[in-house]
Amino acid sequence: MNEKLKKLKDIVYEINDINKAIAVLGWDQETYMPKDGIAGRAEQISTLSQISHKKATSQILGDLIKSLKVELSELDQDFDDARLIKVLDRNYQKQIKVPIEFVAEFAKASSLGQQAWAEARTKSDFLIFAPHLKKIVELRKQYADFFAPYDHIYDPMLDDFEQGLKTSDVKAILDKLRSVQVNLVQKIKSKPEIDNSFFKLKFDNKKQWDFGVDVITKFGYDWDRGRQDKSEHPFTTDFGVNDVRITTRIDEYYLPSGLFGSMHEAGHGMYEQGIAQKLARTPLCAGASCAVHESQSRLWENIVGRSLPFWEYYYPILQKKFPSNLSDISLGCFYKAVNKVIPSMIRVEADEATYNLHIMLRTEIEIGLLDGSINVDDLPTVWNSKMMEYLGLNPKNDSEGVLQDIHWSMGYIGYFSTYTLGNLISAQIWEKINEDIPELNNNIKNGDFTELLTWLKENIHKHGAKFEPQELVEKVTGSKITPEPYLRYLTEKYSKIYDL
């Protein structure tokens, strides 16, 4: 191997190992860490983040990238190494703009923020979290300034999660979706309400857990290279391609919560597990972007997990597990219940028709916090009034309102819109898969997901972050991210369910 390339990779591997150690510390913080461990943990994460940042912005790394960019420019730009240099160069140019002191301060603020958020959520008291969020917003504004000039102060944050995307793009896409989805929800509202009251019966925790495990095992989640734990807010994390972990949150009195949560995170997890081993320990060993990642989780959770063929196979099994709750509910009723459209308070439990309205609310608030048109102190009020405007609902407390998502406490501002983009991509991919595997629905009806996962691995997972999101979507589906397939999917599905 080229001497310089070897030297570069050694640095890249070292940075990767530190970042994965930080991920382990983060996973532990969310799953098992005792209460009083938080301050020490914040210090550890801050220290490792500083070391990682220092190495990722070192002159020696910059020089190697610069020189290898020239040397490898002769190569086919699809070669892994050429792509690696491209991604490293992009990340390096971004990172050197951010001072190391800022990185440390931000890591500490978000670590403490998460703890405060968890406490605030338990006590349903936004005031506990407010000072932390103020600090985070303040730091995010500082962050944006490192990338000035920008079209919009929100752009630099967005770009961190979905490279190349602009605030104006997101606004345009949301606008385009809004009218169709509002129209659809209106039509549905005029139809008889679906009964899903049985979801609120008691479903034993342990049995729910076991059923979820059974489902994602059949999906193809690899337990030799992963595990599932419980956490306040479900998430997926990886410490390398051979250790990809998911978490879930089970509600004993609301079945869909844990069930679809597990499928969702398993979708993320299988993506990470499917990345080619040769990309390990480099920035290419990751999803192509947040939206592409979300396309995988939403595909398994919604397009598969809320489909009729899926429940044709799994409903009899679920019924057998919970006979007293479900023996009187027919497959048809159950299928309709998991697809019931109803404006709800909680994003993660929102149906596919209203989900994007939750995203709009959050995205507008984020943009407002950044551009100064919304103050942190006013957030509960702003949240509640937007909930009323978009969904006709009034959160009864902070916990089911402004405190429901962990993202801001982690410093994730700019993330939410990728959920909607993920939905769009999932439907684009789904149309393509059905062209390639005409018998797909039949396979699912028989509880066989092998061909589906193989297709996803081959066409998406194995590439990791080698291709940029728009490039990958175009490579796979023939066009860039576009809302039409998703709107077709929604309209067709709900027309049948609601007899529109």
CB 246 within 8 A of CB 30: no
Mask of contacts with a copy of itself, 305-344, x by CB under 8 A? ----------------------------------------
User: In residues, how long is the chain?
Assistant: 500
Report the C-alpha gap between 188 and 180 in whole angstroms. Answer: 12
Among 98, 213, 232, 240, binds a copy of itself (CB under 8 A): 240
Interface positions, 210-229, toward a copy of itself (CB under 8 A): 223-227, 229
User: Which residue blocks in 407-468 are alpha helix, DSSP H?
Assistant: 417-436, 440-445, 450-459
34 near a copy of itself, judged by CB under 8 A: yes
> In terms of CB distance, is 33 or 331 closer to a copy of itself?
33
- Which DSSP category does 195 fall into? P
60 near a copy of itself, judged by CB under 8 A: no
76 near a copy of itself, judged by CB under 8 A: no
Closest contact distance (angstroms) between CB of 427 and a copy of itself is: 32
Please confirm whether the linkage preceding 149 is cis (ω < 30° from 0): yes
Among 187, 281, 321, 347, binds a copy of itself (CB under 8 A): 281
Measure Cα distances from 327 to 198, 213, 323, 371 in Å. Answer: 11, 22, 5, 54
Closest contact distance (angstroms) between CB of 276 and a copy of itself is: 15
Among 4, 5, 47, 98, binds a copy of itself (CB under 8 A): 47
> In terms of CB distance, is 169 or 204 closer to a copy of itself?
204
Stretch that binds a copy of itself, among 24-32, 210-218, 375-383, 390-398 (CB under 8 A): 24-32
Among 17, 251, 431, 448, binds a copy of itself (CB under 8 A): 17
Closest contact distance (angstroms) between CB of 292 and a copy of itself is: 23
272 is catalytic: no
The residue among 478, 74, 465 whose CA lies nearest residue 288 is 465
Closest contact distance (angstroms) between CB of 259 and a copy of itself is: 22
78 near a copy of itself, judged by CB under 8 A: no
Query: What backbone phi and psi angles, to 5 degrees, belong to 107?
Result: -60, -45
The structure tokens listed for 229 are: 């734990």
Helices first, then strands: H and E counts in the chain: 21, 3
Residues in Cβ contact with 468 at an 8 Å cutoff, skipping those fewer than 6 apart:
163, 164, 288, 289
- Which DSSP category does 97 fall into? T
Among 1, 3, 6, 35, binds a copy of itself (CB under 8 A): 35
> In terms of CB distance, is 16 or 477 closer to a copy of itself?
16
> In terms of CB distance, is 47 or 344 closer to a copy of itself?
47
Stretch that binds a copy of itself, among 26-34, 254-262, 304-312, 479-487 (CB under 8 A): 26-34
Q: What are 245's strand-pairing partners?
A: 227, 237
Q: How many residues form the binding site for a copy of itself (CB under 8 A)?
A: 39
Among 39, 75, 127, 388, binds a copy of itself (CB under 8 A): 39
> In terms of CB distance, is 147 or 239 closer to a copy of itself?
239
Question: Is the dihedral angle over the CA atoms 346, 348, 352, 355 positive or is it negative?
Answer: positive
CB 377 within 8 A of CB 122: no
Point out the catalytic residue in the list 162, 265, 294, 366.
265
Closest contact distance (angstroms) between CB of 119 and a copy of itself is: 13
CA 467 to chain centre: 19
CB atoms within 10 A of CB 483: 21
**77: enclosing H helix or E strand:** none
Beta sheet of 226-230, edge-to-edge order? 226-230, 244-248, 236-238
The structure tokens listed for 417 are: 């819109």
Region of residue 297 (left: phi > 0; alpha: psi -120 to 50; beta: else): alpha
> In terms of CB distance, is 5 or 18 closer to a copy of itself?
18
Enzyme catalytic residues: 265
Query: Which residues here bind a copy of itself, judged by CB under 8 A?
Result: 13-14, 17-18, 20-22, 24-25, 28, 32-37, 39-41, 43-44, 46-48, 51, 223-227, 229, 239-243, 245, 280-281
